[in-house]
Amino acid sequence: MSEPVNVWDYEALAAERLEAGAHGYYAGGAGDELTLGENVEAYRRWQLRPRLLVDVAGCSTATTVLGHDVSMPLLVAPVAFQRVAHPDGEVGMARAAKEVGTIMCLSTIATTPPAEVAATGAPRWFQLYVFRDEGVTRDLIAQARDNGFTALLLTVDAPVRGNRERDLRTGFAIPDGVHVASMGRGGVTPKEVFDMVTPSLTWRDLERISSEAGLPLLVKGILTAEDALLSVEHGAAGIVVSNHGGRQLDGVSATIDALPEVVEAVAGRIEVLVDGGIRRGTDVVKALALGAQAVLAGRAPLWGLTVDGEAGARRVLELLREEILTALQLIGATSPSDVTRTHIQRARAQ
Ligand SMILES: Cc1cc2nc3c(=O)[nH]c(=O)nc-3n(C[C@H](O)[C@H](O)[C@H](O)COP(=O)(O)O)c2cc1C
């Protein structure tokens, strides 16, 4: 293939590079993978409504997320086990995020400890899974706080692991030489890691975790207005509308379709982000038009990391930033905050 020019090209190259177990783990979803496919497909059912003859010469993709300046409304989503994709792992991903000017979200089940990611100087948030062992959770929160992570993403859509059949078929396990930092060892399966996560987390735990950490907390995995309201009531600083990239409950709606009801319920009280299926700058602009402050991308930068380590992750993030800039200019917006509900409509039935 000639030089990859978009996320799809990186995805195809990554599929060639990865062995079957790792590829199935990264690319796959739960059950029949209905939601996995929907996340991408649903963006095609929304269409942009461009406004023309606007001076877009000075257009910028820069914005803020929870008060942090970012160069674009796209953050790096927490994705587990990145050193399995490429030896640069989470450090390479963090450096790429830093160079491009956005936030790196580090997974609880990363293959690099928080201190090493902090040493890159990348702006960083920490994704938290709450473990059955309270001591482990307390230690993770302390590591996040002490290493300058500025927010917690509490993932709430994974009280148990989704039914990932590709992993059953391949028997995917983290290779021996790769350590899961929060477990201090390698040679484990994703299922064994998940068995350590508590299935008993409830809304009551939210405020406790946030105040224990002394960090703003975003609830990651919300899909309904009801849970959006509870997030606000329980002191969340933000919401990530997410279905875990189609890897948890199969058969839930695409996140872009769940976004409007969450935005309406929240009514501007806290920031709403969305992830799942972001492959194009136009996807990002559609999410902004439906009320998201920003998006997170999981697989897209991961494919870049797989193909060319830090440089590949950076290139994917740069490509997305260029695409966001072009899309903003072509809809007649000069910044992400210019994008409104009037810039989008449901595709007319065929
Ligand atoms: C391989 C892989 C591992 C993931 N690991 C985590 C994780 O450890 N914690 C978490 O909250 N979300 C995890 N996610 C979900 C992402 O944070 C994000 O919600 C999802 O990837 C968004 O969909 P996208 O991949 O289509 O961008 C993972 C996703 C993938 C693809």
For ligand 1, atom 1, which residue shows the shortest CA distance? 26
**Which domain, by its residues, includes 153?**
7-333
Tokens of 197: 């996560």
Determine, yes or no, domain membership for 100. yes
Determine, yes or no, domain membership for 34. yes
For ligand 1, atom 15, which residue shows the shortest CA distance? 244
- Band of residue 1 on the pLDDT scale cut at 50, 70, 90: low
Determine, yes or no, domain membership for 75. yes
φ and ψ of 330, to 5 deg: -75, -15
φ and ψ of 157, to 5 deg: -100, 20
What pLDDT digit, counting tens, does each position of 149-168 carry? 999 999 999 999 999 999 99
Determine, yes or no, domain membership for 250. yes
- Consecutive H or E run containing 207: helix 204-213
Determine, yes or no, domain membership for 41. yes
Tokens of 325: 């800039």
What's the gap in Å between 11 CA and the centre of ligand 1? 15
Window from 43-47, 131-135, 149-153 with minimum mean pLDDT: 131-135
Angle at alpha carbon of residue 334, lines to 330 and 336, rounded to 5° = 95
Q: How many domains does the chain have?
A: 1
- Evaluate if residue 186 carries a pLDDT over 70: no
Q: Is 77 within 8 Å of 90 (Cβ atoms)?
A: no
Evaluated on CA atoms 277, 279, 285, 286, the torsion sign reads: negative
- Evaluate if residue 350 carries a pLDDT over 80: no
- Evaluate if residue 211 carries a pLDDT over 90: no
Give, in order, the Cα–Cα distances in Å from 203 to each of 200, 224, 235: 10, 15, 10
Determine, yes or no, domain membership for 346. no
Chain position carrying tokens 């059950």: 31
Listing DSSP states for 29-53 in one string gives: -STT-HHHHHHHHHHHTEEE----S
Q: Is 30 within 8 Å of 246 (Cβ atoms)?
A: yes
The whole-number average pLDDT for the span 293-321 is: 98
Catalytic residues: 244
Q: 178: how many CB neighbours lie within 10 A of its CB?
A: 19
Chain position carrying tokens 């300058």: 148
Determine, yes or no, domain membership for 348. no
What's the gap in Å between 341 CA and the centre of ligand 1? 27
What pLDDT digit, counting tens, does each position of 309-329 carry? 999 999 999 999 999 999 999
Q: 13: how many CB neighbours lie within 10 A of its CB?
A: 18
- Evaluate if residue 191 carries a pLDDT over 90: no
% pLDDT > 90, the chain: 90
Determine, yes or no, domain membership for 344. no
What's the gap in Å between 180 CA and the centre of ligand 1? 16
Domain harbouring 289, CATH code:
3.20.20.70
